[in-house]
Structure 1
Amino acid sequence: MEARGSVPDPVLVGRDAELAVLRAILERASGGDAATLLVTGDPGVGKTALVRGVKRLAGSVTELYGTCLPLTSLSVPFLALRSAVRNLSPDDGPPPPRVTDTTMNVPVLIDTWLDELCAIRPVVLTVDDLQWADQSTLDVLMYLIAGRVRRPLTILCTIRKDDSNLRLQRWLADIRRLPEITELVLQPLDRIATGEQMAKIFDSTPHQSLVDEVYSHTRGNAYLTRLVVSGLSANARHIRSNFPDDLRSAVLQSWRQLSPEARRLAQTLAVNGGPMSVNDLEAVSGVHDILPLLAEAVDAGTVDAAPNGTYWFHHPLIAEVLERSLAPDSSHRWHARFADYYEGKLSDGPGRIEVLVAVADHHDRAGHAAEALDWALQAAEEAGDSGGRPEMLRLLRRAVALRKELPDASASVHDLLVRLRAAADAAGAHEEELGAIEQLLENPDLPPLDVAEMLVRRMHLRFSTGRAFLSVPEARAAVDVARSDASSWQYALALAELAHAELWAGVDGASARAADALDLALSAGHPRAMSYAHSAMAMAVLFDQHNDAEAFDHASKGLEEAVDARDWWAYVHAASWEAHALETWTAQEFANHLSGRRERLSALNAPHTYLAYLSAEESSSRLAFGDWMTVLGGLRVVLGSDPGAVADATARLTAARLSAWQGHTAEAHAHLERADELFGDKSEFLALPFDAVRSEVALAQGNNTAAFDAALAGATFTGLPPMRCEWLVPLAASALANLIGEQRDAGQDPTDLIDQLDGFVAQFPAVIRHTGAGSDLYDRQCSALEALYAAEVARGRAHADLGIQWVNVADRFADARLPWEETYACWRAAESLLTRGHHHRDQAASVLRRGVDLSERLSADPLGQLLLSLAETARVPLGHVEQAGTSRLPEAGLTPREHEILDHVIAGRTYSEIARALVISEKTVSSHISNLLRKTGTANRVDLARFASRTLRE
């Protein structure tokens, strides 16, 4: 279908390669696979022209085109998306959802609506000039891009290169690590393509002297070329002599061709900061009968007329330059006039929020700080009600800054900060909330109990933003401040979180402190204090008494109190300890429990930050037992919007492990780098397995020294052991064994490394077990890791006959439900057995096939390739058993059982494997194979397999 609300197609030349990329993206989406293309480049390089080529490439699609605008201090929530859907007709499909709920639901509503559109025909959603996007638009796009991969949806985004936009850079860093993302960096046109562009504009071939001059000035920037040649005739040989070299003059070139009245009108439009209708522009400018002036501007290429009746500049740079070219006094007057006009235009109908934001923005630009403050507060309230929580926070932050310029304003800085903190808390915006609390704590007149509560919350926020792990001194400071009223809920809360921090630090008496905190919280009767106290008790009971049932009961009570208090940090904290009391974190029961708690949290309409936290923990758990496809979906949930530092880092570490196991080492390294960026502490952050993952990634990259150093850093922890501490010692031993093997292979003496291995074993005689963990499955997993540790040490010491030992390791990991490690052990077992001679061939073949099957299920390609290489070298057949595949051998007179056994023989299975598969003895298998040899006239199993395979092909 034809796009609605779009600008006319710009000239597009010299982009054959880029169009091929765009065409491939559209074809992939038309085939049912969602795809996203990010087109980045300098201003004016031709990004918009490229994506507007969709109409020529996509065929029958629903095209949604929205553009972001460079609003200055404030922004309109979902502006680009609103413009993209504003002109849809009923024939296009169901109407877009009305944005009236909280921000957390808006991405889901839009995603569901797009699913409905995609069911009718493929959809192409284009968001132009994403560098000016409001946060709500970015959140929705993140959710859509991270969403379903099987639907005919193409998302195209154009982005101006601007490294100073840190918010966009972080968004891009997250987007680039998602699957199905293609990025196209648009370079300037070369001289030949510049000439082709000019020929299109003139509809005639230009003189080469003109091409030379234009190219020397624009260097292939398509937009600047258009501006430079605007107004020139086709037979011109040179550009105008007064044409300046800098961007500002180039941008104003087309504007200067207008009449004085048209120029003044264009400047008025520029001050508005966004498209205007004829009536609005006429009313503000005071100029009557402006259509001829607008037509003049359109003809000059300065302004474009949109089908919805509004006018805006052909390129936003024109508006920027014109607005900035005004003298300060003149700019203030014009912004004041716009503020007055939009105040008079304010109504309760559609578009109210846009008008409110415009009023606040223009008052601010007019220098009316008091009015800007009042309108910003009103706009903030209504932005929150309309689903624009990010804009509400930004407005409130702006209000705080304005208030500091107005010492006599009625709203106090303290009250505004309290309001900002509450809004940030409700939205799960931890950075915003932490900033508000830091400013509030600067007030020396705060009541002590308020200070204590804020100190506790600051500790949580410093944790959740990756600044520091739970701090015992900070918790003690909160307790000391709250001690002024030892019967208060704030004192109970501070005491509970001191116990929490001390339990992690291994401080004596922490469990007794948790019990005291619970007594005080129950006495105070405050749900928030009771929630944290119950969770601290769950942790204490689990660590000291290993009483899973009692710990689960405390955590469950803490969760219910968190729901009553609507304290979502307390909720995820309690849910996590419920799961740990239920089963070890590598178990499916653990993951399923977190999934259920996450669903309940979603039903409670909690912010995405907390949903992401539980989803990230669940994904980490599911990866351990091999459910990696579900992990990919979980990671998309986490990154569907800003997840907060802890969830983000947890997801990155999980993604790094998955990428490392599946052979995508560059991606693994990138995920690990992102996790490192998020956190100030690494090894010290005990709740996240930084060192274990770093060691695994280094092993995957072949950097054994770095792998050993990382594992050793985690193993020599202080306080409680970190997450995945059980893996650290085996990982270090594996790295040392690899280093020793490298020296042996190079003909070097590995004595020093062997001595280092012996010293390591003396320092760590066993794997590290986590405090409080103690289920049967956990014990089996530790036993398997102990066996792995012993096998790696034996490998480093070059012990002979390690094959059976590695088979035992593989069997233990199978029993422990750790398939990634089982696959690795199968490879080591097959490798060892195949070097011991022909009499171990059957056992080697069996474990090799087992490893191949596991590697295929897990997509563990590096191990799979090693296993396949072993099979090829040792000539071990890996064919799958095709049931009843020999039914085409009736002339042989085979019985049904003989047909079954022949299927296994063709697949290369050994006597023992056939016996296990068919639940019969090896002696029975031998008897059946003797009959098969007799009936087919073959001499042995190899001849029998060849005969059957050849006959089947015929």
Structure 2
Amino acid sequence: MNGTAAALGEGLVGRATELAAITAFLDAASTGESGTLLVTGDAGVGKTVLVQQACRTTGSAPWIFTGAALPLASMTVPFLALRSAFRNAPGMDGVAHLLHGVSGASRPDVPVMIDAWLEDVCARRPVALVIDDLHWADVSTLDVLMYLIAGPSDRRLAIIATVRNGELGDGHPLVRWLADIRRLPRVVWLALGPLDRIDTGVQLAGLLGAPPHQSLVQEVFTHTAGNAYLNKLVVAGVQPDSRHLPAGLPDDLKAALLRSWTLLSPPAQALTQLLAVAGRPLRARDLDAVMAAKDGTPAALPLLHEGSNAGILDCGPDATHWWFHHPLIAEALLQRLDGDARKHWHAAFAALHEDSLAGAHEPDFQDLAALAEHHHFAGHVQEAYVWALRAATAAGNAGGTAEMVRLLRRALTLRVQLPDASETFEDLWSRLRTATAESGAQTEELEAVEALLALIDGGARPLDAAELLVRRTLLRHATGRAFMDLEDTRAAVRLAAVAPDSWQYALALAESAHAGLWHGSPGAAEQAGEALKVAVAANHPRALSYALTANAMAALDDDRAQDCQELAGQAVTAAAQSRDFWAYVHATLWRANATASWTSQRYADLMRAGRAQLLALGAPHAYVAKLAADEASSYLVIGRWRECAEALRAAHGSDPGVMADVDSRLTGARLAALQGRTAEAEAHLARADELYAAKAEFLNLGFDATRAEVCLAAGKPAAAYAAALDGATAAGMQPTMCEWLIPLAARALADLVSRDRDEGLPPARHLALLNGLVQRFPQVLQEAGDTSEEYQHQLAALNLLYDAEVGRAKDGGNYARTWRDAADALHLVSFRWEETYACWRGAEALLLHAHAHRTEAAALLRRGLDLAVELQATPLKEQLADLAARARIDTTTPAVPDISGQWPDLTPREREILGYVIAGRTYSEIAQALVISEKTVSSHISNLLRKSGATNRLDLSRLATRRAGAAQRPPDG
């Protein structure tokens, strides 16, 4: 569960806006702006929980009187909801007998007396009257509420009621009541909708205890349409690592769905079951036609209205088509029908649809799909196959690629039973491959490619086989099977070499070069150049894009960043022209790599721009999600965690595919670890491990650095050291986040050394490991190809962090200056998380080893605490606050002294800045306060040091403080 979800509590995922609205409503009422709020929504969307949470968190501390109406079928109890609300209310003696009497009679003076009593209570303290399930309220309760709602506008009374959709049939007393209060002032309506797909995933993470598979999220969301209560029921008993829901619905879920259905008349029950078999919205006359064969069957329309009044059915916007209020109701009803009955009705619907499609020039693909479904479930193999292929074609023409994939899979399954079918298996698999590529279903596309490779004779059709081998390499990479497999691409080159002028040969050369560059193979750059010549000659945009990107990668390896940018930019254009979105993402990443370090704002912005362009091109979500995941990782490393969370949310707006899912989970694990949600971090990392089997091979993902960071957050330094060392010593090119590996390894060893000393154990073994680390890695690791000044500054900052950790472990002298220098360097490169950590360690070092430096320690503590609060880095915030408390240091920001009448040799700006230095403010704080750059602050402080003769800021502050004190003392004599 993410931070927002945890703050809101279970059942309130995704309700921050609504919670704020109700809280604001309560707070306004507490100031004398009385009002009424009706919270409406389907059963199970969380109305009651939301209102309860708002009442608990409001700052106005009202008396909260909560009552609930009950669905009493056999009798009506007057004032039932008010009785429960006011049961223990103060001063109710005068009217209690009216509410709790046994006669059941409703007296006209009850509303007046309750209103007078509430007037007195509201004068003493704000009141919130909450009535749950107002749709079941008796008329007497509604009369009282109407009187209260129409009462004075300036008393401190908030009335909140929850109303369930689907409970208000014709003639329901609440229908007229709601129509009446709509005309009254100060009545507000809040419609509570279902959760979206992303918040459904967040809720499932809380319910299952671990981040769920995206396939499971998609299935649950498809079934429940985001209903929070149904989400909870549908995953009851599901394991956290499940990829799919089990067959059938849980008994509790079926009971909840069909509670209202069991109250329908038998004919209405039968009709709704028939509609469930239909599987789609239908008109009343369609249902009449299907039921016509049965004698004595009543007309469908009155039965449909009965289902609507019970909240089972809805009439669509066209006022003619009927369907279930919730999709799970149809599934639950289908499970109540035996197999023979279902087959019979499916055959009847198939006949109906065939009649309706007879003579249609261009049937709607939904009609075709429905017909294919009915034939399939009726057991009509030949008809189901034929109509599935027709429906798949229509779905593709209408842009319904996901539906096309489903129908083609159905056709492939049926084809096995039809030996005389005219379509070959290769035809069907080729169609499925095209459909999966267009929908971004990479796992399914890989399956189709594998099937085609098994069917095609590479000797007879070498170019087709070569192209399939290249695509298999990319898809195996995308789905975590293998990292840029050299074997397949080299085999593709050998096959396509029979046609050296072909685009397939250019493509095979390009991807063989791409894989070779990742693996450090000799001759890969030359092969990329050859691929580009062939692609240009073949004039094939798809092959050209891959060849250009391979050459861009080679250029960056050769420190030719400008060439890389130009080549990758051309590759992006060619990929867009060919609508090859893998190529588009690939080229976009390399163009960004040549433009800025991935650990920068600029890189994140490039990813965001690329994501927007992909959306404009109509790319499948798997590719959009990949850029969103990379955007998130860049925002995270520079401390822009809110933008990071937003990008992660965009990635998971639909199933992101395996590649983007892993990438985003690693970022999610880091964010959770840094903000103190260790269990969530470990769960994200575990899911990433599960999705990508060969983790160490995937050099473009920071598995090992993330694992080390999560282990440190979980208090497992030995595991953190092992993970960091694994990443640092892996064969091949350095992995993403390699720069963090050695500082993290040193931090883990420093923690182990500190633990040894705390427990009275000799730290020799861990110090020996540290010495070995320093000897083997005197500097942090760095990626090849990035020679930018920005990247060099980042390396310098991380090297300072590394040195400071080594000093902490060896405990040799005063290393506080190294921590302070590291904090300043990390600040300049916007590594906010590491800067916060360095502030803590620097303040700790100053207090432990340089007791005279309390002023500087206090400045570091304030700086670190400000950062920790902004980053919501709870563990570091607690460490900094604890250190300040133990050292008895006030971390509130000291006032800036006025020294305008002193230091006549200084300019007004220099005196102004000197005041901030005396107050212990950092460069950043001074720059923000004076609205100038940190570079300008540094220049002024250099002038101050020169004019005063001080050696550093601390000496300058002491000198200035002494002068100020001397100026305030009276003269001798």
TM-score of the superposed pair, with normalisation by structure 2 = 0.69
Contact 2:507 2:543 in 1 (8 A): yes
Label 1:376 to 1:735 Cα distance change in 2 as closer, same or farther (>3 A): same
Aligned to 2:53: none
Report the Cα offset of residue 847 of structure 1.
2.4
Relative to structure 2, which stretch is displaced further, 481-490 or 456-465? 481-490
Superposed counterparts of 1:526-605, under 5 Å? 526-543=540-557, 545-605=558-618
For 2:533 and 2:274, the matched residues in 1 are separated by 67
Contact 1:534 1:554 in 2 (8 A): yes
Aligned to 1:342: 353
Report the Cα offset of residue 714 of structure 1.
0.6
Report the Cα offset of residue 713 of structure 1.
1.0
Aligned to 2:90: none
Report the Cα offset of residue 350 of structure 1.
13
Label 1:399 to 1:468 Cα distance change in 2 as closer, same or farther (>3 A): same
Superposed counterparts of 1:503-518, under 5 Å? 503-518=517-532
- The correspondence for 1:868, drawn from 874, 881, 901, is 881
- The correspondence for 1:291, drawn from 289, 298, 303, is 298
SS at match of 2:783: coil
Aligned to 2:197: 142
For 1:540 and 1:900, the matched residues in 2 are separated by 52
How big is each residue's C-alpha offset from its partner over 1:234-291, in whole Å with a ceiling of 9 and x where there is no partner? xxxxxxxxxxxxxxxxx9x999x95xx9998777556434665542222112236633
Aligned to 2:113: none
Aligned to 2:732: 719
For 1:188 and 1:774, the matched residues in 2 are separated by 51
Q: Which is bigger in relative contact order (C-alpha 8 A, separation at least 6)?
A: 1
For 1:785 and 1:35, the matched residues in 2 are separated by 54
Q: Which amino acid aligns with 1:522?
A: V
Label 1:815 to 1:36 Cα distance change in 2 as closer, same or farther (>3 A): farther
Report the Cα offset of residue 172 of structure 1.
7.4
Label 1:173 to 1:518 Cα distance change in 2 as closer, same or farther (>3 A): farther
- The correspondence for 2:651, drawn from 610, 632, 638, is 638
Contact 1:590 1:621 in 2 (8 A): yes
Q: Does 1:708 align with 2:715?
A: no
SS at match of 1:862: helix
For 1:788 and 1:188, the matched residues in 2 are separated by 45
Q: Does 1:418 align with 2:414?
A: no
Q: Does 1:357 align with 2:361?
A: no
RMSD of aligned residue pairs (Cα, Å) = 5.0
SS at match of 2:192: strand
Q: Does 1:381 align with 2:393?
A: yes
Aligned to 2:488: 474
Stretches of structure 2 that go unaligned for 5 or more consecutive residues are 1-8, 26-38, 47-70, 72-131, 138-158, 168-178, 180-187, 237-249, 901-907, 928-936, 949-955
For 1:859 and 1:318, the matched residues in 2 are separated by 44
Report the Cα offset of residue 883 of structure 1.
7.8
How big is each residue's C-alpha offset from its partner over 1:926-954, in whole Å with a ceiling of 9 and x where there is no partner? 79867976999999xxxxxxxxxxxxxxx
Label 1:512 to 1:431 Cα distance change in 2 as closer, same or farther (>3 A): same
SS at match of 2:869: helix
Label 1:930 to 1:174 Cα distance change in 2 as closer, same or farther (>3 A): farther
Label 1:904 to 1:729 Cα distance change in 2 as closer, same or farther (>3 A): closer
Aligned to 1:765: 778
Contact 1:346 1:352 in 2 (8 A): no
For 1:469 and 1:31, the matched residues in 2 are separated by 51
- The correspondence for 1:272, drawn from 245, 256, 278, is 278
How big is each residue's C-alpha offset from its partner over 1:579-632, in whole Å with a ceiling of 9 and x where there is no partner? 111122112222222222222222222222111111211221122222221111
Q: Which amino acid aligns with 1:475?
A: T
Aligned to 1:808: 821
- The correspondence for 2:788, drawn from 775, 783, 786, is 775
Aligned to 1:752: 765
- The correspondence for 1:845, drawn from 847, 854, 858, is 858
Aligned to 1:395: 407
For 1:123 and 1:565, the matched residues in 2 are separated by 45
Label 1:453 to 1:615 Cα distance change in 2 as closer, same or farther (>3 A): same
SS at match of 2:193: strand
For 1:435 and 1:831, the matched residues in 2 are separated by 56
Relative to structure 2, which stretch is displaced further, 377-386 or 407-416? 377-386
Q: Does 1:661 align with 2:674?
A: yes
Label 1:291 to 1:936 Cα distance change in 2 as closer, same or farther (>3 A): farther
Contact 1:276 1:311 in 2 (8 A): yes
Contact 2:670 2:710 in 1 (8 A): yes
For 1:160 and 1:821, the matched residues in 2 are separated by 33
Contact 1:569 1:610 in 2 (8 A): yes
Aligned to 1:368: 380
Superposed counterparts of 1:13-24, under 5 Å? none
Report the Cα offset of residue 456 of structure 1.
0.3
Contact 1:683 1:714 in 2 (8 A): yes
How big is each residue's C-alpha offset from its partner over 1:769-808, in whole Å with a ceiling of 9 and x where there is no partner? 2122211121122222222222222222221211112112
Q: Does 1:834 align with 2:847?
A: yes
Q: Does 1:439 align with 2:439?
A: no
Aligned to 2:742: 729
Q: Which amino acid aligns with 2:887?
A: A
Report the Cα offset of residue 867 of structure 1.
1.6
Contact 2:630 2:663 in 1 (8 A): yes
Stretches of structure 1 that go unaligned for 5 or more consecutive residues are 1-16, 42-48, 67-90, 92-119, 128-140, 147-154, 190-218, 231-250, 888-895, 940-954
Contact 1:271 1:323 in 2 (8 A): no
Q: Does 1:169 align with 2:216?
A: yes
Contact 1:608 1:643 in 2 (8 A): yes
For 1:719 and 1:156, the matched residues in 2 are separated by 40
Q: Which amino acid aligns with 2:218?
A: W
Aligned to 1:137: none
Report the Cα offset of residue 491 of structure 1.
0.9
Superposed counterparts of 1:448-463, under 5 Å? 448-463=462-477
For 1:836 and 1:799, the matched residues in 2 are separated by 10
Q: Does 1:615 align with 2:628?
A: yes
Contact 1:898 1:928 in 2 (8 A): no
Identity of aligned residues (%): 41
Relative to structure 2, which stretch is displaced further, 358-367 or 599-608? 599-608
SS at match of 1:721: coil
For 2:41 and 2:551, the matched residues in 1 are separated by 47
How big is each residue's C-alpha offset from its partner over 1:186-212, in whole Å with a ceiling of 9 and x where there is no partner? 6999xxxxxxxxxxxxxxxxxxxxxxx
For 1:409 and 1:449, the matched residues in 2 are separated by 28
Report the Cα offset of residue 754 of structure 1.
1.5
Q: Which amino acid aligns with 2:298?
A: L
Contact 1:712 1:728 in 2 (8 A): yes
Report the Cα offset of residue 352 of structure 1.
4.2
Q: Which amino acid aligns with 1:708?
A: Y
For 1:616 and 1:649, the matched residues in 2 are separated by 9
Contact 1:188 1:222 in 2 (8 A): no
SS at match of 1:642: coil
For 1:827 and 1:600, the matched residues in 2 are separated by 42
Aligned to 1:204: none
For 1:707 and 1:36, the matched residues in 2 are separated by 48
Count residues in correspondence.
771
For 1:859 and 1:496, the matched residues in 2 are separated by 45
For 1:796 and 1:774, the matched residues in 2 are separated by 31
For 1:288 and 1:305, the matched residues in 2 are separated by 26
Contact 1:744 1:750 in 2 (8 A): yes
Q: Which amino acid aligns with 2:193?
A: L
How big is each residue's C-alpha offset from its partner over 1:902-935, in whole Å with a ceiling of 9 and x where there is no partner? 9969977699999979968486977986797699
For 1:484 and 1:679, the matched residues in 2 are separated by 35
- The correspondence for 1:124, drawn from 192, 195, 201, is 192
How big is each residue's C-alpha offset from its partner over 1:43-67, in whole Å with a ceiling of 9 and x where there is no partner? xxxxxx9xx959789979999889x
Contact 1:500 1:510 in 2 (8 A): yes
Contact 1:363 1:371 in 2 (8 A): yes
Contact 1:37 1:183 in 2 (8 A): no
